[in-house]
Structure 1
Amino acid sequence: MNGNKPTIVSGITTTGQLTLGNYIGAIKNFIDLQKDNNLIIFVANLHAITIPIGKEELQGNIKNMIALYYACGLDPNKAIIYVQSDVLELTQLSHILLCNTTVGELSRMTQFKDKSIKMKAENGTEFIPTGLLTYPTLMAADILLYDADLVPVGKDQKQHIELTRNIAERMNNRYQQNVFKIPNDFIPTIGGKIMDLQNPTKKMSKSSNDPKSFIGLLDTPDLVHKKIRAAITDSDGKIAYDPDKKPGISNLLTIYAVLKNITIEAAVKTFTNSDYGQLKTELATTISASLEPIQTKYHQLIKDDTIDQLIAAGAEKARYLANKKLTEIKNIIGLNYKRK
């Protein structure tokens, strides 16, 4: 870790396969950020069990996600990439933070409210896993354990960063020491939120039950073309960027602009004399071309033990930093009874 560089921490939950939305909204930014920052990226498998998930699905998602991180371009020489549950210090810090958080703060989280309603609707009962309520303190531990300066998040996670800051400031004031560095969020100016292909008013989700609603990073070219052709647009027929009035077309233009590394304005200009069918065909071709090298590298990594070696090395680096920080915290708050 270079002390002269900002530290950036982020992760993606292991529920479902990684999507184009994850790549554009998070991973593509990670690739750029690893050049000039201390980048710490994890696979959030502990966050995944806050809602029911099958054993085989969870196990498969963990290794696949790590392999896709590397296949997309994350460099083990520039970033620390690890599996969340491999760092036991995280759960200790999560409990410490939970003891410095109120039930009111946690229950006011928008994601807790939304997911609770969804859970009750799905199971027809009042059953709400406690993990949904305490999720924000586990996320705060992910961030504070590594003295993060910046946390790249989507707009839906901004509230959790605010809570993380509040907890850190509260504990710094309580113990009259800089127990934690106060992190700031980072929201990409373009592509931060890629929308659902079948319902472009909501975010593309890897845990969606409708396979037509997202592009998976391992989708074949034929499947990509089918999903893009089926993407919901409108009957206006005019290609223009207007997220409120034309969310479907605006979403497709955003994807195209990010993958081509051009502005939205340039993307609109490219299709000035085109119809929706031409836009979709060109976009599907662009997506497939972007995914091809990722898929090739993924299959190379997954077929031998290379990925297992990378996972072990990443965990060792993360544990070293985590142990150092947790020891410091335990000394400050008095949990380390051996220290006088």
Structure 2
Amino acid sequence: MRVVSGIQPTGGLHLGNLLGAILRWVRMQDECECLFFLADLHAITIDVEPAQLRANVREMAAALIASGIDPAKSTLFAQSQVPAHAELAWLLQCVARVGWLNRMTQFKDKSGKNREGVSVGLYTYPVLQAADVLLYQATHVPVGEDQKQHIELIRDIAVKFNNDYDSDIMVPPEPFIGGGVAARVMSLRDGSMKMSKSDPSEQSRIHLTDSDDAIAQKIRKAKTDPEPLPEDPALLASRPEARNLVGIMAAVTGESEAAVLQRFAGQGFGAFKPALTEALVALLGPLRKRLEELRRDEAAIDSFLAQGAQRATALAAPFVDEAYRAMGLRH
């Protein structure tokens, strides 16, 4: 089994990124062959300063390694350092259909009212995603609910390529459900909104670099309600802020939400919040220390990424060659 997944190097990783994706990646390393990339080619579909992008790539790599991604176990690299991603994306753009891309909901969400003014890259973004996966003949892709449409498109492109060119080189991937459950972490100020770095309130999120005191202060001020915690998780359905904090505790400790509630049933948030703070500090303290060490050794980060790019290129280059030949572009 080979799994491929990427994350945009936007800087400023927060608890939602960690519990929602990264720790799942860490667990995957013991289950299958993993390739994880920093999606810097995807990042340039919107305006970004070149110096900032370079810094973000290095910062994201350091954060992933500090969180437990092991460059000796997994192939970790920057997408732009493997030219085959861009090469295969063009070949697949000539296979994908405009009608397919017109149905992609993320383009509609990201382009907003300025659809005519956004980059073509934002529109064809899903085809580059298909190249990212098909390039390595990945059997599985870890996805959240909002990415299932992209997996369907990747499968459609793979099947059409194979049919059009009487080939079997494209492997239609399956969604990957390993690595345990990924937590859906919501804002500490509004339990109906995902935790996001774009939220103007710093109190809405916990950064991986927050001090122990900052974590304690943000949890103390996190929005809750006056009701005690129930025994049954179903009774939190109409209490989004309470459900969010219980879900965070479960994800951090590895317990089920039901087990968390068994410990705190009948108690209020005056008892729950200090326990949650303690659990978060225990998780994030060592990670923050490791991240600070890695930040001071940029050469080590660059070396990890270069080694990863070398391994990824060794897998990707022969596959692109096969795709060129299938399409009649090489003998």
Q: How high is the sequence identity, in percent, across the aligned residues?
A: 39
Written as runs of structure 1 = structure 2, the 5 A alignment for 1:186-201 is 186-187=176-177, 190-201=181-192
| Letter matched to residue 307 of structure 2 | A
CA distance in 1, matches of 2:87, 2:166: 21
Structure 1 residue 88 displacement after superposition: 0.9
Aligned to 2:146: 156
Q: 1:49 aligns with which of 30, 35, 44?
A: 44
Structure 1 residue 147 displacement after superposition: 0.7
Written as runs of structure 1 = structure 2, the 5 A alignment for 1:277-288 is 277-288=270-281
| Letter matched to residue 292 of structure 1 | G
Q: 2:233 aligns with which of 241, 250, 258?
A: 241
Structure 1 residue 22 displacement after superposition: 1.3
Q: CA RMSD in A?
A: 1.9
Written as runs of structure 1 = structure 2, the 5 A alignment for 1:48-197 is 48-117=43-112, 120=114, 127-187=117-177, 190-197=181-188
TM-score by length of 2: 0.92
Aligned to 2:310: 316
CA shift in 2, pair 1:195/1:178, >3 Å = same
CA distance in 1, matches of 2:199, 2:309: 30
CA distance in 2, matches of 1:172, 1:27: 33
CA shift in 2, pair 1:108/1:230, >3 Å = farther
CA distance in 2, matches of 1:112, 1:164: 16
> Structure 1: which 5+ residue stretches go unaligned?
1-5
Structure 1 residue 199 displacement after superposition: 2.5
Aligned to 2:259: 266
Question: Which sits farther off after the overlay, 257-266 or 207-216?
Answer: 207-216
Classify the secondary structure of the residue corresponding to 1:252: helix
| Letter matched to residue 224 of structure 1 | I
Contact 1:16 1:207 in 2 (8 A): no
Classify the secondary structure of the residue corresponding to 1:57: helix
Contact 1:154 1:187 in 2 (8 A): no
TM-score by length of 1: 0.90
> Structure 2: which 5+ residue stretches go unaligned?
none
CA distance in 2, matches of 1:96, 1:244: 47
| Letter matched to residue 218 of structure 2 | K
- 1:89-124 Cα offsets, whole Å, 9 max, x none, are 10011111111112221121111111122x64xxxx
Contact 1:154 1:193 in 2 (8 A): no
Q: How many aligned residue pairs are there?
A: 327
CA shift in 2, pair 1:47/1:251, >3 Å = same
Structure 1 residue 57 displacement after superposition: 2.9
Q: 1:215 aligns with which of 197, 203, 206?
A: 206
| Letter matched to residue 105 of structure 1 | W
Structure 1 residue 161 displacement after superposition: 0.8
Classify the secondary structure of the residue corresponding to 2:175: strand
- 1:187-246 Cα offsets, whole Å, 9 max, x none, are 566334222222322322234343222211111112212222232333444456356412
Aligned to 1:206: 197
Contact 2:24 2:182 in 1 (8 A): no
Contact 2:40 2:53 in 1 (8 A): yes
